[in-house]
Structure 1
Amino acid sequence: MKDYGSSPLGFACHFGAKGVVGFMLSHPRTCGILDLNKNPCPLTGLYPFHAAVTSGDIDGVKFLLSLDGLDRFTRNHKSADLSLLTKDSRNGYGELTPLQLAVKRGDKALAEFMILERAVVQWQWGPVMSIAIPLDEIDSSGPSPSDVMQLLDSEDDGKGRPGLAQQLILDTFMDGFLFELFRVKWQRFARGTLVMLIILDILTFVPLVIVGMEIRLAREDRTWWMPYWVMTGALLQIGLDVLAISAWLEENGGVRGLWTRRSRQRLYAWMQRNSLQQNLVVFLATMAGCGIAAVEAGAGHDEATLKMAQRIMLAGAVYLDVVGLMGTICIPFQRLGIFSIVVDQLCSTDLPVFVMFLGGYAFTFLTTMYIAYPVEYNEQLDVCPPFNDLLTAAKAMLDLSTTGERFGMYLGGAWVEKPWENDKVLWNLNLLVFAFFYYLCMLLMHVLFLRLFMALLSDRFAAVKRSATLAWRLNFLRWVLYAELLQPSFMGPTWSGELLNGQWACVLQKPQVNLANRAKDKKSAKDKKGGERQGVDAGATTRRARQGIFVDKVETIKRRLKLAGGSSMAAFKVVSDANALLGIPSLGSLAHQVDVILRELEAQSAPPAAAAAVSGSNSDSSPLPTNGRSGIRPPRNSMADTIPPLEVKTQTAPGECVEDKVMESKLTNEIMLAFDSIARSVTKSLKKVTSVEHIAGIFFGAMVALVAYQYIITVVSWETGGMP
């Protein structure tokens, strides 16, 4: 209810009550009091026009924008202002224009409508027109910290996942209009900045590795100037981050704004999205490790304690620097970037949960088996040597949990070698308990959990990869915005458009019909509350053009059907071509595909003759006759109908038994007739299959039938004394 506004006018605007709004604005008693651009909500900072934007009703927003004068009392001051900012409040949205508010809420239809509402037509030639979209509320180079391109970076669902606003960067919103703006910035300055930072990182990372490798060398054999080189590069890198932070603070209220909790939270979230905390940790570890190396070189001797700390610092710095460098290199490449994102998400989501779960079971089996292991003080048993000591047992369990390396259990003569005979039964029972937990541990830890984790990773990898395109685009735009903060003013403007009459704008060439009806199409697709989908009338000319294209498709299908004749393979080809022409996926059996094609033709208002031609009413020219909508009848000239009846003439050689030969001929005729029925059924089923798996199965069945036929003929010939 916070989006309804705190006034009756805001409530009426949110719910699209046009009559009520017109009455309230035109009534003589309220004409000087009520205004769409005044009296914001004290809690959320929304004006009545913003309350209408939060409803997502395009017709209501159009109505408020058209209120240039209801009568002589409401002229020139009652229409909504597209550049009106929400009033900043503690529980509100901040200072946002109506367009930025629609983007923040992820309303694609309303955001596109308001972007095109601000567009200016430059020229028009036939069905194509050129428009200029002002970038003052869109481009991140503007003075506002809440521009559309910046909102795409900052908005999520509160759990670190992409929110509704970030969905606008995909191609489903205005054919990727917003992402193309980031690409323009990438081409102009962000690519050069990335190359510069990668070179600086490599020039710092390679000497850092050399410093770490030289720890084991004698002091006089080390390169004395290498630590100073690394520290200089690290200072340059952290200096660039400090410069970006200062530029961000300048856009968001300066250092004084950090006194508020919300500003500190925004700064911390921005630093986390751009991995600045990781860069700070790498800087501190690098400076500490190289500083210790410089101190040792100046002192002339090595301290063992400092060297141990130096090893830890340099190892951590090298690892984090490699991870950051690989992520930076993958930014401009979509396939590498998606793979990197998938790996990061797997390591940050599924892996910690599985490690905690696996660690709990590992600790359980370690304590249980160590307690059940029948060994006394200062005694060593060969049953399971790692469990003679707690540390070796923990090491063995850790290896089993992580690498799958198993530790053995050897019973041997342990059942009878116990020194005290009186406790032999209890000792053997104790050993049986240990053996039970040992095999249970191997079954769960080595077999079940590891394979379950592999299956979980495979499923997660496929699921994350499907949504990783959005994540890669978000990383790409964050890098572009970060590079924009580093861009000095003397290098030129960083706008993504071109300067037209003193204003920065993006010029697009769009079809006139598409541009005129885009917002209405979006509105019709969104408003399904009434239960019926509204259509868009594109005019008689558009209908005739669409009908002509459809007739051409039908005639093409009819012509290919006539050329196909009675060939089954040609029928498959015709149906595949028909699917391609009508934009239908080739799924299911041949009968199902024809049924889908017929329904598509009916949906596109096909002429009766065209539908009859495709459905195969003319059996002489169409190889795809149908029985209503149930399926496909086999053609008359099928292979099963052309197989002649088989007859085997008996010829008795001298010395052969006539009865045996007659029996052999009779059996052979029965086998051949049986094989003929198999061939007929296989041929009949061939008309109904389209997938490679079914064809392979039929081929395999035919081969089995041939082998069985040859085998039976051989057995019959052998039993009757003849030759096969």
Structure 2
Amino acid sequence: GECNLYAYPMVKFAYKDKPTKGNGEHDVDVNKQRALLAKLLRALFKMSDFVQKTDSSGATPLLALQVGNQPSAIALCRQLFKQNPRHILATHKAGPFAGENAMHVFIVNEHEEAVLEMIELLNTAYREKKIETTDLKTLYQGQAEGVFFHDLPMRHYGGTVLGFATAFSMARVVYAMLKAATRGGPLDGIITLHGTNNMCKLTGFLPIHVAIANGLTGMYEFLTNLPNVDEMYRSWAEKTQHQNQSHPKLAFRPSGAEFRRASEHELYATESAIAPLKMSEKLMLTGRSTYYKRKFQGLRALQLCAVLGDKRMLQYCLRHKSEMEWKWGPVTQYRLDLDGVDSQGDSGGDVMEIIGQIDAPKATQEMLLDNFMHGFLYLLFVEKWNRVLWYVFYLNRFIDCFYIVALMVLIFWLKFAAEAIAPLRTTTAALIAMILSFSWDLRANLLWYRNKNLTKEGMDLSWTLIKHHLDWSYKTGFANKIFGYICTLAACIYIYIERERAAIAHFDAVWWLLAIAVFTAFNSIRNVIFTPHERLGVFAIVMSRTYPQIYPFLSLLFAVMFSYIVVLYTALPFRFGFDEPMSQADGLQNPGKMLYDLVMVGLIGEPLNLELFEDVNGTSYFNWPTTNGGFAGTLQDAYTDNPLDQYKIANLAVFIFVYLLYVLTVLILMMNLLIALMGSTYAETVANSTLEHRVDFARLVLKLELEAASFVELLDLDLHAGKADVASKRGEAKRYHHIFRSVEDNEEGYGTSGNVPLFDAAVEKLFQGEQRRLSPIR
């Protein structure tokens, strides 16, 4: 018989003599059979050739037993691990599950006790020198990186054993590994919560990010409040003390609270001290991996919540950051540190910036609505606007208006000037205004690159970054204005070149250039001037949202029009340049005019000039075609005049039929579809007008903040949101925070009048429950 290890201990026998009992059943003792099979496998696993065999998926025999996940298979695996701890090092070879090892499989199948036993077996084997440090590195720092793990949700499991244990809420496993990572321990220097060796190759996630990505508030609290933090991490501080001379606290024996306050050290897995996701070249070998890490690059736990659009987890992290200032009876006042939230922070990935990004998902953008923390994040943008940024906004509009006025003065001078000379002064003024406007816009774009923190080791010009910049330029209007700048420059240069000529008529070549320049200038200012005003801004939003939906429709419309025009051109019984003009279609004798007339029929409904009826002695006759293009009163007259005219009559009939069908299809059907499309776009935009406006307003505030950042020290501007901490020491950067209060219900469930809780009741209840659960552990 045979045993498929994925289905262990099931055995399939091929009987020859079919031994049976007297009652006809097979004479087989299942328990003895399974015991024999287990004994056989224990013997086989002593043979290295058998242990190293792999199947088509890259699994070894031991991994096949684990994947089967039958109780007897799990029991056999644990026996094999005790028999030889090196079996724990089993790893999937090349294939869809490449990199997945025995610990990964047990964690996924939630055998926590077995994993703890494996860790202890490895620690003992290391002390007895049966396993080398390189073996432990291969096991614990190995990554499950086969194609199976590129899809969600596997992609968010962290890759390493530590990441998987975090993703499946195995706090005891995480603690056991970290405990073994203390100084002199088996995993010293192998397992950390911050090192690049424990970072997921696909996403760059560290354990804290894994907890966030999987919505695990319990593991988030566990990692940010690890038990015995002093004892476990003191060795790390001592080993890195010489590398961090700027942090003298680390030279002492700090408490857990001091570790958590050392946010700049970026060494410990606290929310305020999550190490940014640094990328190394070795972890960027594939395009897909590079994309995922670029998406999450430089994000801390709080900011990752915003990128993923996880409103619940973001609320929880913000609640975790809140510190109680005082409590008076049922009223409690809290302070929420805005570090990591305020877009004026040091990094380029704060929550406010993430919400305003061009590629932000809708779930992230919806954090601006009132149903998320009562519009807390949107009010931060409004606070920035009211504080100083509205000055910058109107400075931008002044520069735009100066450019437009200069262009209009140049245009009207050329139109109405009596002197036959070139208006050099006016041209110079327009050129200066264009250079000023262009320089200001270019400065904003350069600041955008700088804010991405990508210039430390040279400018990163990846296609993803370029695409995001082009999208940002289009949203801010710079992409449209650049064509106007080019046209203005070309027109001014032409005027300077032709300045010696005496005739104003020589400047006719610049009209189309100036027209494009004025159009783009007016269009850009129109799109942004109403953004700060929600009621007026919705109409500008409707126009900007309608155009992208019209373009695909117009391609279909012109394709239909082109097909009908070709048919009409073919069916018209007239050869241009050869036949005599037809009185019936006198307006279609020129191919260019015929094309123009047919296009106008489709777009505005202007009918063709067809003379299909002739009035003779007060009686209307159909104007039948004849050979010489003349009039035949009746169909018989047309046949009598020339029998070949019957073909012209047939062609003209086809032409008229297709023409009527063309009018019905294009003018009535397609145009009504276009109107319906625009109506649905308007209805959809109005329904989402609050979100659309707030997203545009947030992006405008972020752009103005970039432009004003250079003048902060010169003009003593405060671009932060929130209230500055007056208790900051001299020389230290100010900390900004948001103050809010919480009021407890009275015994009848009331008594909270005038108080609007910042966090949802479910999040607050969850937070309090986690605190109570972790209290005895601490």
* TM class by smaller structure: 0.5 to 0.7
**1:333 offset after TM fit, Å?**
0.8
Q: Distance in 2 between matches of 1:12 and 1:519?
A: 29
Matched, 1:6 2:165: no
Q: Which amino acid aligns with 1:34?
A: I
Kept in 2, the 8 Å contact 1:337–1:472? The answer is yes
Q: Which residue pairs with 2:57 in the alignment?
A: none
Residue 372 (structure 1) shift: 0.9
| Partner of residue 170 from structure 2, selected from 10, 17, 20 | 17
CA distance in 1, matches of 2:676, 2:372: 35
**Structure 1 residues 423, 266: CA separation in 2 closer, same or farther (over 3 Å shift)?**
closer
Deviation, 1:126, is: 4.3
Structure 2 contact 194–274 (Cα < 8 Å) conserved: yes
- CA displacement 1:446-474 (0-9 Å, x = unmatched): 22111222122112211122223222222
Residue 8 of structure 1 and its aligned partner are, at CA, apart by 1.1
1:45 partnered with 2:254: no
Q: How far does residue 520 in structure 1 lie from its aligned partner after superposition?
A: 6.4
Q: Is the 8 A contact 2:581 2:589 kept in 1?
A: yes
The aligned runs of 1:286-325 (5 Å cut-off) are: 286-296=488-498, 298-302=499-503, 307-325=507-525
Q: TM-score, normalised by structure 2?
A: 0.62
1:191 to 380, 390, 393: 390
Amino acid at match of 2:224: L
How far 1:300 moved relative to its partner? 3.9
* CA distance 1:207–1:260, change in 2 (3 Å): closer
Inter-partner Cα distance in structure 2 for 1:180 and 1:518:
15
Q: Does 1:156 align with 2:359?
A: yes
Shift of 1:515: 9.2
1:406 aligns with 2:607: yes
The answer as to 2:311 corresponding to 1:108 is yes
Deviation at 1:195, TM superposition (A): 1.3
The corresponding residue for 1:209 is 408
1:253-652 matches, within 5 Å, as 253-254=454-455, 257-261=458-462, 262-296=464-498, 298-302=499-503, 307-349=507-549, 351-376=550-575, 377-412=578-613, 413-415=622-624, 417-419=626-628, 420-487=641-708, 488-489=711-712, 490-491=714-715, 492-500=717-725, 501-502=727-728, 503-513=734-744, 518=759, 521-522=762-763
Question: Does residue 87 of structure 1 match 2:277?
Answer: yes
Is the alpha carbon distance of 1:259 and 1:52 closer, same or farther for their aligned partners in structure 2, counting shifts above 3 Å? closer
Aligned AA for 1:20? V
Pair 1:74–1:250, CA change in 2 (3 A): closer
C-alpha contact 1:13 1:48 (8 A) present in aligned 2: yes
1:317 deviates by 0.7
Q: Is the 8 A contact 2:601 2:607 kept in 1?
A: yes
Question: Paired residues, what number?
Answer: 522
Retained in 1: the 8 A contact 2:373–2:758? no
2:373 alignment partner, SS class: coil
- Could you say if the C-alpha distance between residues 458 and 519 of structure 1 is closer, same or farther in structure 2, counting changes exceeding 3 Å? closer
Taking a change above 3 Å as real, the CA distance of residues 127 and 358 of structure 1, as seen in their structure-2 partners, is: same
Query: Is the partner of 1:379 in helix, strand or coil?
Result: coil
C-alpha offsets along residues 613-642 of structure 1, whole Å, 9 cap, x if unaligned? xxxxxxxxxxxxxxxxxxxxxxxxxxxxxx
SS at match of 2:735: strand
Corresponding position of 1:671: none
Check whether the contact 1:132–1:505 (CA below 8 A) recurs between aligned residues.
no
Alpha-carbon spacing, 1:339–1:409, altered in 2? closer, same or farther (3 Å)? same
Q: 2:334 aligns with which of 131, 154, 161?
A: 131
Distance, in Å, in 2 between the alignment partners of 1:73 and 1:138 is: 30
Secondary structure in structure 2 of the residue aligned to 1:129: strand
In the alignment, structure 1 residue 57 sits paired with structure 2 residue 212: no
Q: Which amino acid aligns with 2:207?
A: P
Instruction: State whether residues 257 and 263 of structure 1, in contact with CA within 8 Å, keep that contact through their aligned partners in structure 2.
Output: no
- Alpha-carbon distance in 1 for matches of 2:565, 2:232: 85
Q: Distance in 2 between matches of 1:368 and 1:516?
A: 69
Q: For 1:132 and 1:397, how far apart are their aligned partners in 2?
A: 70
Asked whether the equivalents of residues 403 and 433 of structure 2 are also in contact (C-alpha less than 8 Å), the reply is yes
CA distance in 2, matches of 1:260, 1:293: 37
Which residue of 2 is the match for residue 663 of structure 1? none
The answer to whether the 8 A contact 2:480-2:520 is kept is: yes
Using the alignment, how far apart are the partners of 1:327 and 1:496 within structure 2?
26
Equivalent residue letter for 2:396: L
Q: Matches of 1:117 and 1:515 in 2, distance apart?
A: 19
* CA shift for structure 1 position 227: 1.8
Compared CA separation, residues 511 and 73, structure 1 to 2 (3 A): closer
Contact 1:368 1:437 in 2 (8 A): yes
CA distance in 2: counterparts of 1:171 and 1:103, whole angstroms: 16
Q: Which moved more, 1:468-477 or 1:259-268?
A: 259-268
Alignment gaps of 5+ in structure 1 = 527-534, 537-724
Shift of 1:415: 1.8
1:147 to 345, 350, 360: 350
Q: Which residue of 1 aligns with 2:450?
A: 250
Q: Deviations over 1:462-518 (max 9, x none)?
A: 112222322222221222122112211212231112221223323332324499994
Within 1, Cα distance between the matches of 2:678 and 2:465? 38
Distance in 2 between residues matched to 1:41 and 1:114, nearest whole Å: 22
The 1:276–1:214 alpha-carbon spacing in structure 2 relative to 1, beyond 3 Å, is same
Q: For the residues of structure 1 that align with 2:539 and 2:401, how far apart are their CA atoms?
A: 22
Identity %: 25
Query: Is the contact between residue 165 and residue 173 of structure 2 (CA under 8 Å) also seen in structure 1?
Result: yes
Q: 1:493 to 1:176 in 2, by over 3 A?
A: same
Letter in 1 for 2:368: I
DSSP-derived class of the 1:140 partner: coil
After superposing the two structures, state which structure 1 stretch, 384-393 or 185-194, moved more: 384-393
- Residue 234 and residue 129 in structure 1: after superposition, are their counterparts in 2 closer, same or farther (change >3 A)? farther
State the superposition RMSD in angstroms: 3.1
- For residue 10 of structure 1, report the CA deviation from its aligned partner: 0.7
1:66 to 1:155, Cα distance in 2 relative to 1, 3 A: farther
Pair 1:314–1:20, CA change in 2 (3 A): same
Asked if structure 2 preserves the Cα contact closer than 8 Å seen for 1:50 and 1:86, the reply is no
Range 55-64 or range 124-133, more displaced: 124-133
Distance 2:228 2:440 in 1: 54
- How many angstroms does 1:238 deviate by? 1.2
